[in-house]
Structure 1
Amino acid sequence: MLYELKAKGKSIRAIARETGHSRNTVRKYLRAEGIPEKNRILEEVQNLIHTKTLSL
């Protein structure tokens, strides 16, 4: 969705206003060429929690 809005010539500020995200978030996603997958983020968090639990 972000890419379509940007392709239509909308500014980052206008995209942020329309989507409800901050300008920095919109800019980050446009630069990264994609939105991180939720499963991948969840997996990373679970690995961090597991690692901390093992080190206690």
Structure 2
Amino acid sequence: MLTQELAVEIHVLKRQGMSIRRISRELGLSRNTVRQYLRGQIKKPIYSKRPIRPSKLDPYKD
């Protein structure tokens, strides 16, 4: 997963006139990944907290 900073850097490099190929080479990403970030198709995922699972040792805890 890419960081927010990397996504911002992609947009900055594009505004400076770099091509998608050059951005992908500079950052070590796929051209399609760079293209999707520029189109706004990739958004930051929202993760929720994991539920607390019971432990095997719960019956033996005080």
Query: Is the TM-score greater than 0.5?
Result: yes
Tell me the C-alpha RMSD between the 2 structures. Answer: 2.0
Structure 2: which 5+ residue stretches go unaligned? 1-8, 51-62
Equivalenced residues, count: 41
Query: What TM-score does the superposition give when structure 2 sets the normalisation length?
Result: 0.56
Structure with the bigger percentage of helix:
1
The share of aligned pairs that are identical, in percent, is 49
Structure 1 gap segments, 5+ residues each? 47-56
Please say which structure displays the higher CA radius of gyration: 2
TM-score normalised by the chain length of structure 1: 0.62
